[in-house]
Amino acid sequence: MVGTETPEDAYTAEPFVPDRGGLPALRRAAADCRGCPLHRDATQTVFGAGKATARLMLVGEQPGDQEDRQGEPFVGPAGRLLDRALEEAGIDPADTYVTNAVKHFKFTRSEPRKRRIHKAPTLRETTACGPWLAAELAQVEPELIVVLGATAGKALLGSSFRVTRVRGTVLEEEINGRPERLVPTVHPSAVLRAEDRDGAYQGLLSDLEVAARALR
């Protein structure tokens, strides 16, 4: 309909991304992003966090319920599990930069308690949010990227990405015109949901050990 188009109809964060100012400017600008409809129901933008000088960048899917409330990535149950696995693999979580492919929490409300249930972002939403991830990569210039699950993998490596095929290996791919090294693994939330939780955790741990070795 003419005259009622909103910025989110364009499905791209591009016009909201500043081209100078570093991570602090990106974070400030992302707070006002309306590059897709997901900002409407979420509490706030959850931008990446951590060291601008980090050698390792971890990319998840999207903020969860806790992250949406607190405004920081990976501060809920999945984040606690991830921190434990990182430490066990010999990586200090404080030395990493952590972010998500999508910066707003997508959810549905379950009756009768109206709990907010995570809903996977679509490829269209992930693509819309891509300019933020590209800008973070350009600022942090990590030596290695740990790809946490399918959404992050598709965001970085395209829609044909399959976690099970490449997890625990060091990939060398060109992303946004720059060579990057990546180690894909499962999403920590998938470990929490797994029937064999110990087995799934050991799998995540051994993939993170591959990442730790690749950094040495």
The secondary structure of residue 52, as a DSSP letter, is T
Stretch that binds ligand SF4, among 36-44, 49-57, 151-159, 164-172 (CB under 6 A): 36-44
Closest to 71 measured CA to CA, from 91, 48, 37: 48
* From the list ligand SF4, ligand URA, none, partner contacted by residue 78 (C-beta under 5 to 8 A by kind): ligand URA
Distances (CA, A) of 7 to 14, 104, 126, 130: 10, 16, 16, 16
> Can residue 96 be called a binding residue for ligand URA (CB under 6 A)?
no
Site for ligand SF4 contains 39 (CB under 6 A) = yes
50 phi, psi to nearest 5 deg: 125, -165
Q: Which of 48, 73, 131, 184 binds ligand URA (CB under 6 A)?
A: 73
Check if the beta carbon of residue 64 is closer than 8 Å to that of residue 189: yes
CB of residue 22 vs ligand URA: minimum separation in angstroms? 22
> Considering the complex, what minimum distance in angstroms separates the CB of residue 11 from ligand URA?
20
Describe the crossing of helices 77-88 and 197-215 by its angle, rounded to 10 degrees: 50
For 157-181, give the DSSP string.
Answer: H-TT--HHHHTTS-EEEEETTEEEE
Tell me how far apart the alpha carbons of residues 192 and 209 are, in angstroms, rounded to a whole number.
19
Build a one-symbol-per-residue string for 100-139: x at contacts with ligand URA by CB under 6 A, - elsewhere: x---------------------------------------
Q: Is 63 in the site for ligand URA (CB under 6 A)?
A: yes
Partner whose binding site includes residue 63, from ligand URA, ligand SF4, none (CB under 5 to 8 Å by kind): ligand URA
In the complex, the residues that contact ligand SF4 under the rule CB under 6 A are 13, 30, 33-36, 38-39, 45, 102-104, 128-129, 132
